[in-house]
Amino acid sequence: MKKIINLLLIITVVLSAFAFTNPKKEKVAIKESTILWKGKKVIGSSHSGTIDLKEGYFEIEDDLFVGGEFVIDMKSIAVTDLENENYKLKLEKHLKNSDFFDVNKFPTATLIINGVGQLTKERNYEVHGTLTIKGISNPIVFNISSEDRTATAHLDIDRSKFNVKYNSKSFFKNLGDKAIADIFELNITLKY
């Protein structure tokens, strides 16, 4: 009887070790990945550009996403839709200044994946995470899909939740056609 109990105890310990394996971390290939942004006025024009990922990884378990963490280089904000170099540089400087993202004080933003739910069998996921911009953290939910070691996502981010006030109707009244929409878009492609 003692031998059976000892054998069961050993089997339980071995099975427990397998049950609590750590997820595998897959680093993102920074140079092959892209983040495209787009911001709009409430009425009228829009601007678009890129921003670089500084570092990041996905946590993968049983070939499925279970988590991850990503650091965005806010100093890399670039405008790609303006051909005039002076206007391009002026807008980039404006976006980096304290009235927008204050990149000297907050050089990075982070996205931490807290939970993932699989939407379909085709490797589409609903992601629950925490986004931090300008030192302010807020929950975010978005969808991500993965195929051939490439993950893609579209995020709509409300800048007013991160104290990005410039020409926002959430903070100022009577802006008229000078108002800039609070929602800006990120289209993300990550190779891993």
pLDDT of residue 174: 80
What is the pLDDT confidence band of residue 2, given thresholds at 50, 70 and 90? low
Q: Where are the beta strands (DSSP E) in the chain?
A: 24-27, 34-40, 46-61, 64-79, 108-120, 124-133, 136-147, 150-158, 183-191
C-alpha count within 13 angstroms, C-beta hemisphere, residue 153: 22
Considering the entire predicted model, what is its pTM? 0.84
Spatial distance between the Cα atoms of 118 and 1, rounded to a whole number of angstroms = 45
Given a cut of 60, is residue 82 above it in pLDDT?
yes
Architecture of the domain spanning 22-191: Beta Barrel (2.40)
Residue among 63, 35, 36, 58 nearest 47 (CA):
36
Least confident of 5-9, 23-27, 49-53, 166-170: 5-9
For residue 51, count CB atoms less than 10 angstroms from its CB and return exposed for 0-12, middle for 13-18, buried for 19 or more. Answer: buried
SS (H, E, C) 77-93: EEECCCCCHHHHHHHHH
Query: Which of 168 and 187 is assigned the larger pLDDT?
Result: 187
- In the chain, domain spans: 22-191
What is the pLDDT confidence band of residue 1, given thresholds at 50, 70 and 90? low
Amino acid identity for residue 186 in this structure: L
